[in-house]
A and B are shown apart, each in its own frame.
Chain A
């Protein structure tokens, strides 16, 4: 399934994104049947006893679901929708469910993937996508900044998010500096006539992250 979706990184992969998503969704059917059989393997109230066994695969699946949904609609998959795609429950009361931390981990993986996608879409000549990705990731970053994370694996992965944000901003910056973004102030936020001043004064190179 991941291999299938990796096709969007190919230069010519952008034309048939809907088709790839369709195929991926068919694969999720297999996932659902396997989830059903997993549910019968242990008592329903002991989910967390064996949580470690499927944590990682679940995070990976959430990422894939989120990726598909993003490619289709350019929005973030909700927790309920992600659970539904995997054929499991959204909250604990109803049996095998999607833990919130696993969901968030999957979403963080999506951010790294989109950072890659931004780079590759420029290579493929799609100059508008990075701007949309940038807006999306910035919103995601703000969302995560609302959370008070503990010092656990989720926090470590969240710490990686700022690099993805930075990466995408660099892409956007590169586009705007070359006047390749048609919407002059689309996501970069500074007018292009000033952009060239950096070339003459490299010491003033912008702090791209917007953070100190």
Chain B
């Protein structure tokens, strides 16, 4: 009997001879070797490989995110202190570890269309971009370019111990190099996140009595903001979402600068401050117009 009893009560027993189970069998007796079933077996295989790859990439992406976040926290401890160099070196080591992960991603994507799995790796890449550009800003006080990032993501199989037995046609053409190109959108989103970190850096530097950094930062952020408003709503939807947050960060930094300016500082920095205050007024007027 099939397992569908208990609903019919006692009358069920009267009709015991009713072939309940027969319908079940009827459903199950689909010929397992028919062409339709064989083709579906191959679909099963194909979908499973695809999903497995996707999951592996998601996992890698999460690791990249976590490591990058840690790098960013590490860099926040960099406050023109004597241990500045140390922190930078340490962050470099961390970023190398992240890049090794990205290399694995690149290996996963050999011979694949990157955009097919883009959603899996995008968050990790954005976080990485944030970390790298933050480090770059601390070093050089300028914004890292997409090309610069992509240059660091060209991997060669210098470590021989991992013998790559992946044989794909693309490898024959360019032996043992993989590269991962960051998409412009990922780059933009990463940079938008960077502004949040810079805002935190600004506030903490104020706390540390460093009064040069806030002004530098406000100038830098304003440039980025101008850049983003230049893209405006022509960019992808996510970019316009970030614009709002960016504006808040900028406002906070500008307010910090304003407070510094108003309260005055022990060390007279009038020249620099003057430049900023006039700029701020200009911006405010523009804001009033738009």
Q: List chain A positions with a Cβ less than 8 A from chain B.
A: 45-49, 51, 75-76, 78-79, 92, 100-101, 104, 138-140, 142-144, 146-150, 187, 189-191, 194, 197, 201, 203-204, 206-207, 210, 212
Q: Is B139 an interface residue (CB 8 A)?
A: no
Q: Assess whether A146 is in contact with B40, with CB atoms less than 8 Å apart.
A: yes
For the complex formed, measure the closest distance between the CB of B36 and the CB atoms of chain A, giving whole angstroms: 5
| Residue from B3, B43, B113 within 8 A of A47 (CB atoms) | B113
Q: Assess whether A194 is in contact with B113, with CB atoms less than 8 Å apart.
A: no
Q: With the chains together, A14 CA to B15 CA distance in Å?
A: 41
Q: Assess whether A139 is in contact with B39, with CB atoms less than 8 Å apart.
A: no
| Residue from B3, B17, B34, B47 within 8 A of A139 (CB atoms) | B34
Chain A residues near B43: list those with CB within 8 A: 79, 100, 104, 143, 146-147
Chain B residues near A187: list those with CB within 8 A: 26
Interface size class of B (residues with CB under 8 A): 35 or more
| Residue from A101, A138, A148, A194 within 8 A of B30 (CB atoms) | A138
For the complex formed, measure the closest distance between the CB of B130 and the CB atoms of chain A, giving whole angstroms: 23
Q: With the chains together, A49 CA to B114 CA distance in Å?
A: 8
Q: List chain B positions with a Cβ less than 8 A from chain A.
A: 3-4, 8-9, 11-12, 15, 17-19, 22-27, 30-31, 34-37, 39-41, 43-44, 46-48, 50-51, 113-116, 118
| Residue from A48, A79, A142, A206 within 8 A of B37 (CB atoms) | A142
Q: Assess whether B51 is in contact with A148, with CB atoms less than 8 Å apart.
A: yes
Chain B residues near A203: list those with CB within 8 A: 8-9, 11
| Residue from B3, B34, B47 within 8 A of A148 (CB atoms) | B47
Q: Assess whether A189 is in contact with B113, with CB atoms less than 8 Å apart.
A: no
